[in-house]
Amino acid sequence: MKKIKLEDLLSRKMTEGFQSKEVYVKGLGGEITIVKQPLPTVLRLMDDIKQDDMTLSAVMDSMVQLIYNCVPLFKNKELQAKYECAEPTDVVYKVLNDSVEDITTIGGAILSMYGVENPMDEIKK
């Protein structure tokens, strides 16, 4: 096994720009782009989700917040106005027609960008 040296880390190319990927959303019949956010942002949301006294609605709200943060499309003011959103994050529920399947699909895809392979299992722990 190779021993990593300082030179290896210094010469390692940093990830340039942002990382993103396309996720197919069944209810929309197409793909949306998710953008990786800084790890501390995601960890705070996961911490909220993993609290023992969390209700299902609170877990879903945290997942929606995560989606809102990672899907630039949902931050569009015109889209929020069209769907008459009281809160900016309401656009996620409205665009996805309150589909738990679509919300968990997108949330799972986001968390997989951070190495969480079975996000729903992690949340249930």
Q: Distance (Å, rounded) from C-alpha 9 to C-alpha 84?
A: 49
Give the DSSP letter string of 44-86.
Answer: HHHHHHT-TT--HHHHHHHHHHHHHHH-GGGG-HHHHHHTT-S
Predicted TM-score (pTM) of this structure: 0.79
* Model pLDDT, residue 29: 95
* Model pLDDT, residue 121: 53
Structure-token match 């003011």, residue found:
77
For the chain, which ranges sit under pLDDT 70?
A: 13-18, 49-53, 117-125
* Model pLDDT, residue 124: 46
Amino acid at 110: I
Q: Tell me the Cα Rg of the chain.
A: 17
The token pair at 44 is 């705070």
* Model pLDDT, residue 122: 45
* Model pLDDT, residue 45: 78
